[in-house]
Amino acid sequence: MADEDARLAGATCDLERLVRTHLFVIGPNNSGTTFLSAVLAKSRHTWNLRREGQHTFGFVGPATRGTEVPLVWASEPAWIAHFADPAAYDWAATRRAWYFQAFARSPEASVFVTKAPPFLLVVDQLAEAFREARFLFLVRDPYATAEGIVRRRERQSDASRADVLRRAARHLVACFERQRANVAAFADRGVFFTYEAMCADPEGVGTQIRRLVPTLGDLDLDQRVAVKGIYDERLRDMNADQIARLSPGDLRILNEVFRPAKDVLADFGYALRES
């Protein structure tokens, strides 16, 4: 998370008083959420964390680190139940930990921002536990997203590429189904856009976000940010590069899972890609 020029530390401020809005970036991993969070951290009006909410010290709840499913936590019903279990979370304790470790650029900051991909499964809990909760919902082309997951998972898993592809596809279908429900249930508290729309029209998406949270008047999506230590550049659509890495065999395997779920993909504007 970008924090150059940060001036204020949450440990020295009364965030219980200062924070008026909690803004959660909600999307599957590898879908642009890290870039979006990094851009939000450049606003003078936001409090931010240097790590994902689930990986910040003091978070009380299930986290993906150290599990067998760090990137595919929605690939099996048992894992979905694990990460969605309300009894596993203590949001009051988590909020205190987040506030203590937050940073801001200005005393004007009043919007607390965080993200963690598995939070896609607990939007209802976030809406109840945090005052003035607002949500930025996004998804990305599932083929490009799957390629990013597989490229990382192959370095971390002994499973075959075919098995990793199938698990990534099951994960994304489950995420799309849950995100569709989130967008419908929290339309009054959130905005939805795709990674592709964010890349093609950053000003338009920025306008959507500013309408949801008017305090973010200085938000600018069209700027250079560092992401995951991998690249430091302006937002650009990387889908074509990533999809080109998928072989015809990869596409056939992904479509074993995507084809029965083509309606949910279509609801977000994505069609099946045939090999």
Model pLDDT for residues 159-213, shown as the tens digit of each residue:
789 999 999 999 999 999 999 999 999 999 999 999 999 999 999 999 999 999 9
In a domain, 215, yes or no: yes
In a domain, 204, yes or no: yes
In a domain, 132, yes or no: yes
Q: CB count, 10 Å around CB of 160? A: 10
In a domain, 232, yes or no: yes
User: Looking at this protein, which amino acid is placed at residue 71?
Assistant: L
Model pLDDT for residues 15-29, shown as the tens digit of each residue:
999 999 999 999 999
CATH number at residue 55: 3.40.50.300
pLDDT at 224: 81
Nearest of 104, 186, 145 to residue 270 by alpha carbon: 145
3-state SS assignment for residue 225: strand
- Cα 264 to chain centroid distance, Å, stands at 19
Whether 259 shows a pLDDT value over 90: the answer reads yes
In a domain, 2, yes or no: no
What's the whole-model pTM score?
0.94
Q: Which two tokens stand for residue 180?
A: 């569709």
Whether 3 shows a pLDDT value over 60: the answer reads no
Number of separate domains in the chain? 1
Model pLDDT for residues 130-139, shown as the tens digit of each residue:
999 999 999 9
pLDDT at 95: 98
Range of the domain at 184: 8-267
In a domain, 79, yes or no: yes
In a domain, 275, yes or no: no
pLDDT confidence band for 1 (50 / 70 / 90) = very low
Q: Residue 8 forms beta bridges with which residues?
A: 104
In a domain, 95, yes or no: yes
Quick one: angle between helices 161-185 and 248-258, nearest 10? 40
